[in-house]
């Protein structure tokens, strides 16, 4: 369903608009969304937790006046923005330390899901959402404790979203996670029927084997689409200093250097290798790199259109970077 809604696999991940890792101005944020629009991007993904509502506010402002039927809008539930303000002295700085000061709480219940959707509609200045993802079910939960959170979803968010989709209030729903297990278990349940899942950082040049072997076959069998988030592995592949929201490990640095050498040998960009690899599986509906600079959006569009020789993929496979059977644009 989601794949049919999109003319291009290139989407826009709006987490950086919430001041992820660094503060950006409203002008930068709006110019970046404008560049994405001018470049033909029509899928926009955000979430309440991105800057405690800041990303949704900025995206809503930037898309105001655009024909609503011309783009697909996704946001998330489960991480709810409250009116309470965090105590600056007690707060742990996180990746959205420069976002709005509101406290965000985890709540996957039915009432919180409906309230979160209402708040998102207001911040996004729209009367409908196309896709709603249940956010971060397994984030910051260790061992098997995330199963308790999944149980809350099963009695709360999941049936609410199933009903809203069946009533036509939303077009599709799914899960947005950075651990595959939560999606694997949910697809096995058979009691609800998600249309898509957003997987952040678990299908990239640096990390894709479990997703390839376990999750993609499940998704294909159940006709569930995948949206790939974090195709540059938190920026590690393109000169950034973070990997999975933490420092780059020496082992990962060696792999990143090899990818760069292959790109240079064939005169293609690392972005082209990263984006085209992520977009290659049949179940992928969209790939959503994030950006806060207009020129980065233009680079993403150009990278997706680059011609990558088959030999480049062969070299990456020979180096052990691509798992056996991982699809590439040329087979």
The pLDDT assigned to 89 comes to 72
Provide the 8-state DSSP code for 240: -
Provide the 8-state DSSP code for 213: I
CB 181 within 8 A of CB 215: no
Q: Over the stretch 312-326, which tens digit does the pLDDT of each residue have?
A: 999 999 999 999 999
Q: Which of 298, 288, 292, 278 is nearest to 75 (CA)?
A: 288
Q: Over the stretch 275-300, which tens digit does the pLDDT of each residue have?
A: 999 999 999 999 999 888 899 999 99
Angle at 107 between CA 79 and CA 207, to 5 degrees: 50
The pLDDT assigned to 93 comes to 67
CB 138 within 8 A of CB 182: yes
Domains, the chain, in order of start with CATH, read 9-246+282-292 (3.20.20.100)
The pLDDT assigned to 155 comes to 96
Average pLDDT, the chain: 93
The phi, psi pair for 304, rounded to 5°, reads -70, -25
Single pTM value for the model: 0.94
The phi, psi pair for 44, rounded to 5°, reads -125, 130
Provide the 8-state DSSP code for 208: -
Whole-number percent of the chain with pLDDT over 90: 81
Mean pLDDT over residues 12-34, rounded?
Answer: 94
d(CA 240, CA 242): 6
From start to end of 1-78, where are the E strands? 12-13, 43-45, 72-77
């Amino acid at each position: 369903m989601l794949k049919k809604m999109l003319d291009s696999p290139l989407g826009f991940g709006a987490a950086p608009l919430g001041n992820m890792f660094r503060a950006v101005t409203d002008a930068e944020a709006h110019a970046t969304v404008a560049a994405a629009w001018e470049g033909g991007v029509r899928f926009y993904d955000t979430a309440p937790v991105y800057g405690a509502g800041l990303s949704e506010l900025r995206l809503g402002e930037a898309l105001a006046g655009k024909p609503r039927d011309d783009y697909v809008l996704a946001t998330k539930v489960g991480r709810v923005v409250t009116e309470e303000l965090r105590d600056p002295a007690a707060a742990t700085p996180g990746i959205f330390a420069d976002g709005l000061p509101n406290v965000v709480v985890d709540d996957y219940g039915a009432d919180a899901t409906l309230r979160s959707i209402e708040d998102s509609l207001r911040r996004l200045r729209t009367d409908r959402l196309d896709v709603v993802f249940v956010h971060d079910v397994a984030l910051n939960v260790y061992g098997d404790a995330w199963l308790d959170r999944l149980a809350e979803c099963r009695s709360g968010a999941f049936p609410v979203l199933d009903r809203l989709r069946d009533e036509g209030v939303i077009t599709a729903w799914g899960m947005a996670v950075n651990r595959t297990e939560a999606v694997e278990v949910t697809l096995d349940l058979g009691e609800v029927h998600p249309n898509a899942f957003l997987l952040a950082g678990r299908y990239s040049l640096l990390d894709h084997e479990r997703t390839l072997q376990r999750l993609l076959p499940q998704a294909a069998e159940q006709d569930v689409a995948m949206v790939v988030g974090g195709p540059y592995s938190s920026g590690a592949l393109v000169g950034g200093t973070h990997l999975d929201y933490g420092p780059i490990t020496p082992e990962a640095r060696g792999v990143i250097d090899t990818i760069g050498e292959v790109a240079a040998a064939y005169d293609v960009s690392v972005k082209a290798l990263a984006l085209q690899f992520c977009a290659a599986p049949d179940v992928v509906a969209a790939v959503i790199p994030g950006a806060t600079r207009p020129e980065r959006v233009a680079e993403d569009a150009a990278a997706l259109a680059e011609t990558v020789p088959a030999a480049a993929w062969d070299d990456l496979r020979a180096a052990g970077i691509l798992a056996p059977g991982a699809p590439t644009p040329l087979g």
